[in-house]
Structure 1
């Protein structure tokens, strides 16, 4: 049975999309999760997918809060994610500081759009226990919410939301880069020590290395993203300058886990147990290596 790979159809997924196209459904099936990492985690929890390529902070915070429905099995993108702070086209909000005490739109609880709101509040020295959220499911719902006034702003990846801003549907009022590498890979416990999962990570590494190579970045990557996502070439080239992928998808740096936990705890999103967290608890070490 092919592995069910949950993913978000964004430019970051390009190497995974190339892998899936070449595979033709023989060993993996892509399951699109347009609402983002919160939806990916829900589908892992419900055993609707086997693997999730998802954002670092929600994956780690979910395990920290007690989830037994998945463990980390690999790394994907090693650079930070630049979260845009977006408001409506005619709102009174012009900078991040204006948002204090307002309702922030999120895709769902436990998503990156929520965890990063805590990071933003930490940076702004706001009391994180006073944050207010409204769930709006996906990018369309989030944009509608900032324009109908039910939320003040929301956070989403910069280049994903730029077409909506360019079309005049919303405005950027700031950005908050993640203080950690942005994408990891998690798997449902039933896939522990699974040969297919090992093969997936090994093959994905090959596609990632190729996509991440200087030769492919020069033009082939640009052409692929333009064809798949329709972004302007100048935006694609600007984004490619900011992103790098793991050169070994089965390796997870211990520091990624400990640093992410430290920031999320400082932001008030998670609480550390007595004696602190053990990084190996977050990882299926039958599959991945902590480095």
Structure 2
């Protein structure tokens, strides 16, 4: 049995992985796939890939491309979720800010530098024609940290996946002022280069198994109720999320990569050109 470590956010997108592990599907091909929940998100997972704490990460596209560009010895092996991530832009429920324009020159809370909440704050600012170089960030690590930072006034707004944050809106902790969809496929699967060199066949088997599950995920009986129960979400919200979400079983092709890279260059999230083969390893 070969042990492979995998990390991802504890969110509804990753339920297919947990189901496959629980069903013993990886064990059937001789793989002990050990899942780690990472509530801190992409910035933390980039660090985990770098120091060998995880072998695989189910990670935000913009974050891992930026970190590979900065020296992370990993590669994207495929797209996991093709549809954009819908980022809710949230303020404290008692905040005086009520519109997106009110947040110009205000302080976003971010989980980590290089995380999705950090990079998408830049994307949102660019979308609004704000001066992205003037952004000042408040580091909060987790969503609980963001709650405290917005409540105390250390930060003014927080961007996080809209559906996973909605319970805090429903409870009267946050108020959502706008949405900001990511301009690229939201999640990819990244693997450390050392693992790819030594265990390429095993990684290929893991991808085959998860791809079968994601291809049929929406047709699983009562999957909406299962997601709602596991992640404490309202059924109608899960049904809307399922309708908007498209999993992928395909590689990140060269055309899509160049589009993402060029957008990151324009936003100054990366500052030098990077080649497709340096970022992407294809299996199929």
The aligned counterpart of 2:280 is 283
Out of 77, 83, 91, which is 1:79 matched to? 83
CA distance in 2, matches of 1:61, 1:94: 32
The aligned counterpart of 2:242 is 240
Contact 2:25 2:209 in 1 (8 A): no
Out of 213, 217, 225, which is 1:211 matched to? 217
RMSD: 1.5
The aligned counterpart of 1:67 is 71
* Pairing 1:32–2:33 present: no
Contact 2:40 2:111 in 1 (8 A): yes
Instruction: Tell me the alpha carbon deviations over residues 67-123 of structure 1, each in whole angstroms, 9 at most, x when there is no partner.
Output: 233111121000000000001111111112111222210000000001101100111
CA distance in 2, matches of 1:32, 1:110: 18
CA distance in 2, matches of 1:114, 1:148: 20
Instruction: Tell me the alpha carbon deviations over residues 196-252 of structure 1, each in whole angstroms, 9 at most, x when there is no partner.
Output: 21111111111111204xx33xx432122023112111111111110010134xx22
Instruction: Tell me the alpha carbon deviations over residues 45-77 of structure 1, each in whole angstroms, 9 at most, x when there is no partner.
Output: 11000000011110111122x223311112100
CA distance in 2, matches of 1:255, 1:145: 40
Contact 2:88 2:176 in 1 (8 A): yes
The verdict on how the C-alpha distance between 1:228 and 1:254 changes in structure 2, with shifts beyond 3 A counting, is same
Specify the SS of the correspondent of 2:172.
coil
The aligned counterpart of 2:266 is 266
Contact 2:42 2:116 in 1 (8 A): yes
The verdict on how the C-alpha distance between 1:68 and 1:38 changes in structure 2, with shifts beyond 3 A counting, is closer
Specify the SS of the correspondent of 2:137.
strand
Contact 1:129 1:268 in 2 (8 A): no
Out of 39, 51, 54, which is 2:56 matched to? 51
The verdict on how the C-alpha distance between 1:284 and 1:25 changes in structure 2, with shifts beyond 3 A counting, is closer
- CA-CA distance at 1:24 after TM superposition: 7.5
1:123-202 to 2 correspondences below 5 Å: 123-193=127-197, 194=199, 195-202=201-208
Q: Please, which runs of 5 or more residues in structure 2 have no aligned partner? A: none
The aligned counterpart of 2:106 is 102
CA distance in 1, matches of 2:260, 2:53: 27
Contact 1:121 1:267 in 2 (8 A): no
Specify the SS of the correspondent of 1:2.
strand
Contact 2:92 2:151 in 1 (8 A): yes
Contact 1:5 1:31 in 2 (8 A): yes
TM-score computed with the length of structure 1 as normaliser: 0.91
Contact 2:169 2:176 in 1 (8 A): yes
Specify the SS of the correspondent of 1:68.
coil
* Pairing 1:3–2:4 present: yes
CA distance in 2, matches of 1:142, 1:255: 36
- CA-CA distance at 1:177 after TM superposition: 0.2
TM-score computed with the length of structure 2 as normaliser: 0.93
Bigger mean CA deviation after superposition, 80-89 or 189-198: 189-198
Instruction: Tell me the alpha carbon deviations over residues 118-174 of structure 1, each in whole angstroms, 9 at most, x when there is no partner.
Output: 100111111111111011001110111111100000100000100001000010011
